[in-house]
Amino acid sequence: MNKLTREQLNAHLWGAADILGGSIDSSDYKNYIFGMLFLKRLSDVFEEEAEKVEKRELEARAPPEEAKKIAWEDADEHQFDGLR
């Protein structure tokens, strides 16, 4: 499975916003904005946790590649793993 880059995700989200924009009353945008804000926060927390785990693994003398893999790919290291 190919992973999306941040730029690709951004393009998809803007495209979705453009599609929805024509059919939604402007006062209803808050429903979509709050969802996007939640996903952004979830992403930020994941990155913060991954950086902490990677630092911990490096301090435990794990090879850099292994530390990065554990930090960014091991679902057991994140509190949001059930959302994937």
Q: Please report whether residue 1 resides in a domain.
A: no
Helix or strand or coil: residue 24? coil
Asked whether residue 17 is assigned to any structural domain, the reply reads yes
pLDDT band at 65 (very low <50, low <70, confident <90, very high): very high
C-alpha separations of 67 from 1, 19, 29, 40, 70 in Å: 22, 40, 40, 24, 5
> Which of 3-12, 17-26, 62-71 is the most confident on average?
62-71
| pLDDT tens-place string over residues 12-28 | 888 887 787 666 676 77
Domain count, the chain: 1
Q: How many whole angstroms separate alpha carbon 56 and alpha carbon 36?
A: 30
**Which range marks the domain in which residue 62 is found?**
6-83
18 falls within a domain: yes
In contact, 31 and 39? CB cutoff 8 Å:
no
State the number of CA atoms in the 13 A half-sphere of 45 facing the CB.
11
